[in-house]
Amino acid sequence: MLNLKSPISVVWEITNNCNFKCPHCRAYEEFTVDDEQIENKIIDELIKNDILTVNISGGEPLLNPRIFEIIQRLSNANMYVGISTNGWLYKEKRKKLLEAGLKFIQVSLDGDKMLHEKFRGVEGSYERAVDTLKQAKKDGLFTQMNVTITSENLKTLEWNYNKALEIGVDKILYRRVVSAGKAVENDYIIPNKKEYIDTIQKLIKLDNSKLIVAVDDPIIYAIQDIESDEKLGCAAGIKSVGISSNGDIYPCIFLREKLGNITKDNLEELWQNNEILNKLRNKDINECGKCKYKFSCGGCRAASGIFEKDLMCPI
């Protein structure tokens, strides 16, 4: 198992504010003012720890008024910087984003126009997402279509693959919806287990020769009967961490188990000594920790909690 001095990558939520109304979101509904002092502290810690990749997320990261300055400072420190966005504001901000050193972009697209706009709650969001992917590709950015797998789009996910081919994106990433944030009360979006596993089996067979197809769920290794300590089904706390807009540090941005706060804790010391992170790395996870696939799979901790069995377990 990897034993790194510090994380390789970080997902940083630079704002809780968003212009969409998604039923699975972790962001707050109330508008909050982003804290420049905390942002500067986070940037300093990322630079000090030689982080390689930073994925700037939210909320909607392009709503943060300091987005260009943040990207510029991280890029000047030789980090590979990208954003995860709904695509609504990219075109009007693209020139400054490119000048600041943006290298990759992830845009959420859940399905066709009717499905996507029903899920995201904003009319016109489908066209903005597609146009952003097309424009970003022309701008020379590495482009990724993010697809959240829910009960709403479970049977239409190959549509996304074909749309990604049509647009010409570099990568499509399918990710399980996590029961956190608003998804706790909107639990109707959590897929049925059997249907979900059947769908994952189809997704992992999609052709990778024309674009990169990734299924961000560790159970794919159990489904494929891959028993190895060289595969890494879940990178939470092993290669990466998540940081919220108020400086809270998590093993993964979807796994809201607070490890510390950037304003009080040293990231390097926390990374090396935190008990929860050590348990995640050793796969000391109760029932999942006894499984022969514990290193290659180990279950999705964000979906199942720190030490519980993954309820989507295929075996």
Residue-wise pLDDT for 260-301, tens only, equals 999 999 999 999 999 999 988 888 888 888 889 988 888 888
pLDDT of residue 170: 98
For residues 307 and 301, give the distance between their C-alpha atoms in angstroms, rounded to a whole number.
7
Least Cα distance to 201 among 157, 159, 151, 153 occurs for 157
Angle at 92 between CA 88 and CA 98, to 5 degrees: 105
pLDDT of residue 27: 66
**Sign of the alpha-carbon torsion through 181, 190, 107, 122:** negative
End-to-end CA distance of the chain: 23
pLDDT of residue 183: 62
- Strand order across the 171-176 sheet: 212-216, 171-176, 142-149, 104-108, 80-85, 53-57, 9-13, 240-243, 248-250, 260-261
> What is the radius of gyration, based on Cα positions, of the chain?
19
pLDDT tens digits in sequence order for the chain, 315 residues long: 567 889 999 999 999 999 998 878 876 556 678 899 999 999 999 999 999 999 999 999 999 999 999 999 999 999 999 999 999 999 999 999 999 999 999 999 999 999 999 999 999 999 999 999 999 999 999 999 999 999 999 999 999 999 999 999 999 999 999 876 676 677 888 899 999 999 999 999 999 999 999 999 999 999 999 887 666 778 889 999 999 999 999 999 989 899 999 999 999 999 999 999 998 888 888 888 888 998 888 888 888 888 788 889 998
pLDDT of residue 29: 56
pLDDT of residue 1: 57
pLDDT of residue 2: 61
pLDDT of residue 235: 83
Model pTM? 0.94
pLDDT of residue 184: 67
Burial of 155: CB neighbours in 10 Å, binned 0-12, 13-18, 19+: exposed
